[in-house]
Amino acid sequence: MAALERIAALLATALAACAATGPAPAPRSAPPPHPPPASAENVSAEVEMADTPFTAEQIRAATKAGRTYRFEVEAPGKPARVRELTFVTVDAEGAEVRATSGDAEPSSQRVSWESLRQHAAFPKARVTTHDEEITVPAGTFACVVYVVRDGDKTSTFYFAKSLPGAPVLFFSEVGGVRTETSTLVEHRAE
C-alpha cells in the first residue's frame, strides 16, 4: 500500500512513510513521485505539487522518541486490524520508525524528516483542500483535509493541525465505494 499511506499508513497509517503497508495515494505505499529537476530536456515532465500540510521541520519538532500512532484499519469483507507506528529513535536528520500491523512481524525503517513530509505531497491539479473539525477515538481535531483524485480513485486525508505528521483519518474510495479506512484510535507524544 503506500508510504503517506504508508506513513499515512505508516504515519497515517500513517506519519502520514515507513516500512509498513498502508493505504494507497490515493492510496499509496510509497511516496508520490516528484518531478525531476528542471532542465531543457525535462521541463515538460515537471508536475506542480500542492503545498504539504506540514514542513519537515514541523514534523521533526513534534516528534520525540516514543511517539506512537495506533490506527484501526478497516476494509470491506475483512476483519479490522490494528496498525501501530512508533518512533524508536529520533535525531536532527530523521528517525527509525517501527511499524506493526495485525499479527505480522514488526518492521523498522530509517526515514528522513523530508521523506515524511513528501508522503503528503500530491500533484496540485489532483488535490483540493478544506478545513474541517472531526472526532475520532483519539480525540477531536481541527484538520486540514486533502482530497486527492486520480481517475475513479479518491483518497481523503485528515491532517490534525495540532499533530504535525500522519493524518488522524484516511480513507480511499474507488468508483465511490470505500476500499479502506484508517482511523487514529490513540496518539502518544512519547
d(CA 160, CA 39): 37
| Residues β-bridged to residue 129 | 146
d(CA 118, CA 128): 17
Q: Checking DSSP bridges between strand 7-8 and strand 11-12, what pairing results, if any?
A: parallel
Q: Is residue 50 part of a domain?
A: yes
The total domain count for the chain is 1
Q: Is residue 1 part of a domain?
A: no
pTM of the model: 0.78
Q: Is residue 151 part of a domain?
A: yes
d(CA 179, CA 24): 10
Which grid coordinates belong to 1? 500500500
Which grid coordinates belong to 50? 500542492
Q: Is residue 75 part of a domain?
A: yes
Q: Is residue 69 part of a domain?
A: yes
Which grid coordinates belong to 41? 530536456
Could you read off the pLDDT tens digit of each residue along the chain, which spans 190 residues?
343 344 334 343 333 333 233 333 333 333 333 333 333 333 335 899 999 999 999 999 999 999 999 999 999 999 999 999 999 999 999 999 999 998 889 999 999 999 999 999 999 999 999 999 999 999 999 999 999 999 999 999 999 999 999 999 999 999 999 999 999 999 999 8
Using left for φ > 0, alpha for ψ between -120 and 50, and beta otherwise, residue 83 falls in beta
Residue 29: give the domain boundaries: 7-34+42-188
Q: Is residue 2 part of a domain?
A: no
Q: What is the CATH number of the domain that holds 136?
A: 2.40.360
Q: Is residue 100 part of a domain?
A: yes
DSSP SS3 for 43 = helix
